[in-house]
Amino acid sequence: MSGSDRSPRLSPQEAARLLRQRLEMGGGELYLDGMTREEALEQVSRAKGEGTQQRSAQAQTGPSTRVTGKSSAALPVVLPDDYAELREVALACTRCGLASGRTQVVFSDGPPTARLMLVGEAPGANEDASGVPFVGMSGQFLDLLLATVELSRKDSVYIANVLKCRPPGNRDPQPEEIEACSPFLLRQIDLVKPRAILAVGSFSARLLTGRDGVALGKLRGAVHTYHGVPLVVTYHPAALLRNRRWIRSFWDDLQLLRSVIDGDHA
């Protein structure tokens, strides 16, 4: 983009609103690959002018048919910097095929001011029905295990998943679904600013450590970092219910996490 045709700069909130309006109006999608954040905002700002022209044309000819092309999963998004707006965008999201089978989007549970952020994999049937992550047996088990290291889920843990919608039959998340959905999670982490992160299960562990394809057992037992935030990796509570011998390892990981939160870990 040349410097001579720069449009007035938008805030991220304005940009997100404009993108939503553009899609609702059936406007062509914007491709922001490879751009810096500032360049992306400028691109949206330019689209504002196109949108004004389009609205005027629609007033004369009626609504246009939405232009489709590249799959929405591959589209980069400019996500809001405001927590409530981010949640609103996620609740209406149709960026991947899981949207068609969900009962509801499972965005999070717990206070966004929490010290600890727990990151799981994807909603199951109970979560899809309730809209809350980690309910049912594995959720109750998790609450119990957190309590053993004096962490109250209700007061001090914010929970989110890599995927916000339930994969059919509780199958593993697919790479394109993770690509489409993970920007929501990463923005949640940016906004919550936890003191520590606990990634449970291999999908969240690999995503946040950036160690794709590495076995979970090789990632646990150490303190990693995600954008400067200490990150501990462990088994998914549902896996513990199937493999009771991992419970001791999980508890060891919780002790490590506790020492990180308390600032005792060197």
Residue ranges that bind ligand SF4, judged by CB under 6 A: 90, 93-96, 98-99, 105, 163-165, 177, 180-181
Residue (156 or 188) nearer to ligand SF4, CB: 188
According to the 3-state scheme, what is the secondary structure of 136-152?
HHHHHHHHHHHHHCCCC
The nearest distance, CB 163 to ligand SF4, in angstroms, is 5
Contact between residue 128 and residue 199 where contact means Cβ atoms under 8 Å apart = no
Tell me the HSE value of 176 on the side-chain side, using a 13 A CA sphere: 9
Q: Give Cα separations from 208 to 183, 198, 200, 219 (angstroms).
A: 12, 10, 11, 11
Task: Indicate the residue among 163 and 198 with the shorter CB distance to ligand SF4.
Answer: 163
Choice between 119 and 151, CB closer to ligand SF4: 119
- Report the nearest approach of ligand SF4 to the CB of residue 96 (Å): 3
Q: At what angle do helices 175-192 and 83-91 cross, to 10 degrees?
A: 160
Q: Closest CB to ligand SF4 among 27 and 173?
A: 173
Least Cβ distance, residue 106 to ligand SF4 (angstroms)? 9
Asked whether the beta carbons of 191 and 112 are under 8 A apart, the reply is yes
Q: Minimum distance between the CB of residue 88 and ligand SF4, rounded to whole angstroms?
A: 12
